[in-house]
Copies of this chain bind each other. A is one copy, B any other.
Amino acid sequence: MTTDSWINETLYPDWGQRFRVKRELARVRSDFQDIVIFESFSHGRVMVLDGVIQITEADEFVYQEMLAHVPLLAHGACANVLIIGAGDGGVLRRVLQHRGVKRAVMVEIDGEVIRLSKEFLPTIAGGAWADPRAEVIVGDGIDYVKRASAGAFDAIIVDSTDPIGVGEVLFTDDFYSNCARILTARGLVVNQCGVPAMQADELRDTSIRRAKFFPYVSAYVAAVPTYVGGFMTLGWAAKDPSLARVATEEIRARAEAAGILGTTRYWTPEIHTGAFNLPPYIARHLPA
């Protein structure tokens, strides 16, 4: 048991957050990355991959709600959803909350992240692992999208690490090209694009890439407490322009029908539609 020690996030060389550690729960070197889970004094349990904070029990709801509910309600009739990464199960849980979802395939490359999340972060996924609509695959997301059938999915949610290390291939031409192929005509892909105040390249470069394969590329924002540095952006790539412009009242009606309304702590219909209004310091990194 460690007391009065601190963990410094190492995402940026010159600035970052630090947590006082109550107790370290796991420290594993998997085939892909260093995984640390600890109990903090301030944010409940925290998972760290290669020195970068991935999730805390205290604020996971912000990221998960915005990553799952926004694409599903913007689409309005998602039956088949593909989740890449998100080994903690939090996105899977939010996707399965939607009544209309018939099948949620989750492809996580690192089985250790799933195993350790089930053991030490059980509340993040809740009952999602046992849901009959869930198909959890330990495997390579790149390979999965290569092999999947055309039009197999209505939405793809990419909850990866930043485009360094294990997550890098999830930001390539090859990956996005296959995403476009396996999505239906109204299909869309969302993915985490980092915090533009610190990592503007991530949004800029991956947006250019998405724009090669999707006609409607944009981003929306969420203020995630422990993805420090102001708004994080969630990349948006759609085949249909109307998805990013659904009116607030229609989003509310869809959320009501889907069983989402009233279950959220960050997402609301107003926040959903407002999240597409980007501050100029972020908007300038998107393709014109």
**Bound Cα distance A229, B225 (Å):** 4
Range class of the A interface residue count = 35 or more
| CB–CB A41/B58 < 8 A | no
> Is A242 an interface residue, CB under 8 A from the partner?
no
| CB–CB B8/A15 < 8 A | no
> Quick one: given A265-B279, A277-B268, A280-B265, are A59 and B12 in contact (CB under 8 Å)?
no
Shortest distance from the beta carbon of A188 to any chain B beta carbon, whole Å:
22
Shortest distance from the beta carbon of A193 to any chain B beta carbon, whole Å:
15
> Is A13 an interface residue, CB under 8 A from the partner?
yes
Shortest distance from the beta carbon of A41 to any chain B beta carbon, whole Å:
4
> Is A54 an interface residue, CB under 8 A from the partner?
no
Q: Enumerate A242-270 residues with CB–CB distance to B below 8 Å.
A: 264-268, 270
**Bound Cα distance A233, B229 (Å):** 16
> Is A16 an interface residue, CB under 8 A from the partner?
yes
> Is A105 an interface residue, CB under 8 A from the partner?
no
> Is A17 an interface residue, CB under 8 A from the partner?
yes
Pick from B42, B62, B230, B281: contact of A14, CB below 8 A. Answer: B42
Shortest distance from the beta carbon of A212 to any chain B beta carbon, whole Å:
28
**Bound Cα distance A16, B7 (Å):** 11
> Is A224 an interface residue, CB under 8 A from the partner?
yes
**Bound Cα distance A279, B224 (Å):** 12
* Inter-chain contacts of A18 with B (CB < 8 A): 8, 15-18
- Using a CB–CB distance below 8 Å, which chain A residues touch chain B? 8, 12-20, 40-43, 58-59, 61-62, 195, 197-198, 221, 223-226, 228-231, 264-268, 270-271, 274, 277, 279-281
